[in-house]
Amino acid sequence: MTELVQCVPNFSEGRRPDVVEAIVEAVKAVPGVRLLDYSSDYDHNRSVVTFVGDRQAVGEAAFRAAAKAAELIDMRLHHGGHPRMGAADVIPFIPVSGLSMEDCVELARSTGERIARELGIPVYLYEEAATRPERRNLADVRRGEYESLAARLDDSCQAPDFGPARFNASAGATAVGARRPLVAFNVNLNTGDLKIARKIALAIREKSGGLTNVKAMGVLLADRKQAQVSMNLVDCDATPVYRVVELIKSEAARYGVTVASTEIVGLIPLKYILDATAYYLQLDGFSHDQVLEKKIFF
């Protein structure tokens, strides 16, 4: 199976296209890296770049992009609506195929160490790569944002995982981590009653007694007159898509409501599709290598 890591770094620049292009070019210049997407948000003054490849190529591209961002972005001049603490703000590595989460944790740590050493930028490891429980959650790592960094770095408890605890005024600090692929998934209900969608969201999400790895809220699709359970599934290996759908059906039945349709927003790794098929068809002894295209292409 072809080794494939996805990297989705966020940069604190969404208003100067030449800067964003320069960062994207730094990524594309690395042999073996495939750029999938990039987009900028003016209000957030922030850009997201998505690329894939083997771990060596992806680690190299992430490093070069961080270096280019440090060269072209001065955090003293940055303002925007999204929490941030550095020019290269967050760099997550995501295992897609042919390597484990542990491999991505290692990649996050080696890349973070290199960014700190060669670029002089404090690096905090987060999510699966975190070295302490209180640093798993990115929101906690980034609390206080760029503006609090100088003070934080004076506090030995808040020392970065890599790099001297010395404030880099221009580049700020970078969070480097490893995480599962995130699946954005919505279930549309045969009701226009938002309260029902909200009750179902509460019932099925991790925060309020439901399934782990599920973030959910109820929203109303006014034009379709349908209430929707809108979700982020953060670990479909442990908590597969089909389990979420079946639990929603079960909770909805209580209100006499059925599922009208569902939607996957953006991309989904093949293995999560195969897991759903294997569940519903009750497939026994099914190997993912039985998918013809998988045998041929990767």
CB-based contact 27:53 (threshold 8 Å): no
Which position has the token pair 């700020």? 172
In the complex, least distance from residue 86 CB atom to its own copies, rounded to whole angstroms: 27
CB-based contact 35:50 (threshold 8 Å): yes
Q: Radius of gyration (Cα) for the chain, nearest Å? A: 21
Dist CA 230 CA 218 (whole Å): 6
Query: Of 22 and 221, which CB lies nearer to its own copies in the complex structure?
Result: 221
Query: Of 77 and 296, which CB lies nearer to its own copies in the complex structure?
Result: 296
Query: Of 74 and 237, which CB lies nearer to its own copies in the complex structure?
Result: 237
In the complex, least distance from residue 104 CB atom to its own copies, rounded to whole angstroms: 15
User: Cα separations (Å) of 260 from 170, 218, 247?
Assistant: 51, 15, 15
Is 288 annotated in the active site?
no
In the complex, least distance from residue 263 CB atom to its own copies, rounded to whole angstroms: 5
Dist CA 111 CA 274 (whole Å): 32
How far separated are the first and last CA of the chain, in Å rounded?
A: 6
| 236's tokens | 């479909």
Query: Of 90 and 241, which CB lies nearer to its own copies in the complex structure?
Result: 241
Query: Of 65 and 245, which CB lies nearer to its own copies in the complex structure?
Result: 245
Give the residues lining the site for its own copies (CB under 8 A): 2, 4, 6, 34, 36, 52, 96-97, 181, 188, 241-242, 245, 259-264, 266-270, 273-274, 276-277, 280-286, 290-298
Helix axes of 241-253 and 270-281: crossing angle, nearest 10 degrees:
50
In the complex, least distance from residue 252 CB atom to its own copies, rounded to whole angstroms: 12
In the complex, least distance from residue 247 CB atom to its own copies, rounded to whole angstroms: 13
Query: Of 209 and 285, which CB lies nearer to its own copies in the complex structure?
Result: 285
Question: Residue 198 belongs to what H/E stretch?
Answer: helix 194-204
Q: Which of 44, 78, 82, 288 is catalytic?
A: 82
Phi then psi for residue 33, to 5 deg, are: -100, 135
Dist CA 22 CA 93 (whole Å): 21
Cβ-based neighbour number of residue 5 at 10 Å: 25
Query: What residues are paired with 87 via a beta bridge?
Result: none
| 79's tokens | 């303002």
Dist CA 160 CA 174 (whole Å): 9
In the complex, least distance from residue 241 CB atom to its own copies, rounded to whole angstroms: 7
3-state SS class at 240: coil
Catalytic residue numbers read 82
